[in-house]
Structures are given as structure tokens and as C-alpha cells.
Amino acid sequence: MGRVCSLFHSLLFVSSLLFASETLVSSRTLEKRPPLVPGLSWNYYFPLECPTLEWIIRNNLEKAFKKNSGLAPGILRLFFHDCFANGCDASILLDAPDGKDEKSHPANVGIRQEALLAIEELRRVIYKRCLPVVSCSDILVVAAREAVRQMGGPDFDVPLGRKDSLTFDLDGPNNLPPPFFRTQQLLEVFGKRDFDATDVVALSGAHTYGRAHCSSLVNRTIESDPPIDPDFKNKLVATCPTPQSSNTVNLDARTPTTFDNMYYINLLNRQGVFTSDQDLASHPQTKEIVNLFASNRKEFFDSFADAFVKVSQIDVITSRQGKGEIRDRCFVANKKSSVEAVAEELVELAEAI
């Protein structure tokens, strides 16, 4: 009888974990969600491969964010710089022996080491619970969603099923829009990937927390177009007297560690840190969207969630698309056995014939 009770309680515990995982869904589950690329799914790891994946990531990051609130914007930036540069394939995580990898690109200055380590730590914990069935790219996507949700932002579902890249692309970060871009340039860059003006304004709202290095905002200290509040400009100059200054500036001085819509209110007050931010409040295609998001947090949250999901599907590698893998460690590609190498060569030869 005791053994039966023990088995019952074990099954009950497992069922509770499955229920917790299944109920980690957003309030928008029943509403229209962005379409998915082939190979991705809203419940890819459920119910067999890793049903508690999102619970594991959520639980571990809750502890990490309490210790270091700056980790959240660091992870969100890592996600965007991975996806928009070369597709959501975790290529930004790969280390090169000579240090010449995607992280060394000038566009990735300031990528937080603790954010990189957090993704690898999540992989280690997940592999203990689920074995190596979850890609580093999927872990990064879920972690980035948590970096938004746990700091006050929207909760929403993310599709999963990505594979990790086998290598990195040193030129990939050239696709990242720099902070001195004007709005028209942003619209053109994002437009090439089917993002509209609402997406651009919503994604820019990620600058509602985090920090900026002086080298990325120097033009705001010497230019008056787009407009800048004089007192705000004086504070920037005091913090960043030269582009080489090692100081940093909060992207949102009012609520620097909270994901909210204060960013847009700052823009209306001419207190955007980057040129690419402030110009949104003046451009004819984006200024009304800025006004809407400043006055309606739900509109911002819903638009951000949709745009995030669109970013998370840029040039993904899935079991149906391209060659990828589930890395044993996020920082290095897996070593292939001689059998695997020969098999790949035969497949490539057959395709060529």
C-alpha cells in the first residue's frame, strides 16, 4: 500500500509540473498570433521532450534578476543582436579561438558577459532535467521573453523548435541598425525583413530599460536635430564628455530597471538617448504611434509581443530548413564523428548530382 501511495504522489508531482508548464501561457493565447515559419511550434517540447522547459527558465531567471536587474536588458539585447544580425541561431554565442567572432564586432560593443554566461547556465540546468534536446537558440528566445515579462513587461507565448548554427558570420552584425540612424533609415532596414512602422516603434521600446555607452550617443551631445531637452543634453554631456568615456547612461532615467512605456513619454519630452529613438517622435510615419504607446501601455505591450515573435523567427534553422544542431555547449559547435562527416559529404554529393 505504501509503495502505491508513493507512486501516486510521484505521478501527482509530475502532473503538477506538466500543468505548470502548460499554463505558462499569455493572456493573448486565444487571440490572433503571428504566423509561424515551418518547423516551429507553440508547444514544440510539450508534452514529451522537455515539458517543464519554460518553468525551468522562468524559475532560474527569477533568482538571477533579483541579484542583478541589469541582466534582463542584457539578455534582451543579446537576443536581438543574434536574430537581426544573422538569424535566430545562437551564432552570437559561439566563441572563436582567436577572439574574432560576432561578439567582437563593433556593433556588439557592450554585450554583457553575464548575459552570455546566463544562457550557458540555463543550458546546463535544462540538460540535467531534459537531456540535450533543447537548442541554445530556443533557450535564448525564452530567456529574452522572461527578461521582458519579469521586469514588468507583457507575458506572451513564443514558438520553439530552432536548431543552433554550426558556425558564426563575422559580417552578420553589419545588419544591425546603429543608434545614430534616422527613422527613415530604420524603416528601410526593417522593411526589408517585412517589419512595418508599428513593429519598428514597438521594438525600439526595448530601450525602456538598460544602459548606453558614451560612444553610441556622442552625436546627441553635439547636435540639436532631432530636438533634445537642454537640461537633458547637459546631463548627457556631463556623463559623456568624450566618446571614449567609460561611463554609461540609463536609457530611461525615470524607470531604468522596469519594462514599461515610459520610454515613449521620454521621447515626447525630447529625452531620447539615441538619435534613432528621438527621431521616432517627429517622423510622419511613426510620431502618432509614439503618442499612442505613450498613452496606452496595453497597445505597446501587445505590439511589442507580436514584433518580438516576428524577430524570433528571422532566418531560423529548423529540422525542415537548413543544417543545424543541438549544441552540447552553447559557446562551441559540436565535434562531429568521422561517420557523421562522411554521411554529410555523401548527402552533399547526392544533392549535387
Flag whether 102 is marked binding.
yes
Cα–Cα distances in angstroms (integers) from residue 181 to residues 45, 124, 306, in the given order: 39, 38, 23
**Residue 248 is labelled as binding a ligand:** no
Segments in 166-229 forming alpha helices (H): 183-191, 197-204
Sign for the pseudo-dihedral over CA of 318, 320, 321, 323: positive
Is residue 105 marked as binding? no
C-alpha cell at 156: 506572451
183 is in an annotated binding site: no
Q: Confirm or deny that 194 is annotated as ligand binding.
A: no
203 contacts 303 by C-beta, under 8 angstroms: no
| 255 assigned ligand-binding residue | yes
* Cβ neighbours for 158, distance < 8 A, ≥ 6 positions apart: 141, 142, 145, 308, 309, 312
Q: Is 279 annotated as a binding residue?
A: no
Q: What is the DSSP letter of 213?
A: E
Active site residue 105: no
CA–CA dist 304, 296 (Å, integer): 13
Is residue 87 marked as binding?
yes
Residue 353: CB atoms within 10 Å: 5
C-alpha cell at 270: 525630447
Q: Looking at the chain, which runs of residues are DSSP E strands?
A: 211-213, 248-250
Task: Pick the catalytic residue from 81, 105, 213, 283.
Answer: 81
Q: Which residues are annotated as a binding site for substrate?
A: 177
Q: Which residues are annotated as a binding site?
A: 82, 87, 89, 91, 102, 177, 207-208, 252, 255, 260
**Which residues have a catalytic role annotated?**
81
Q: Which residues are annotated as a binding site for heme b?
A: 207
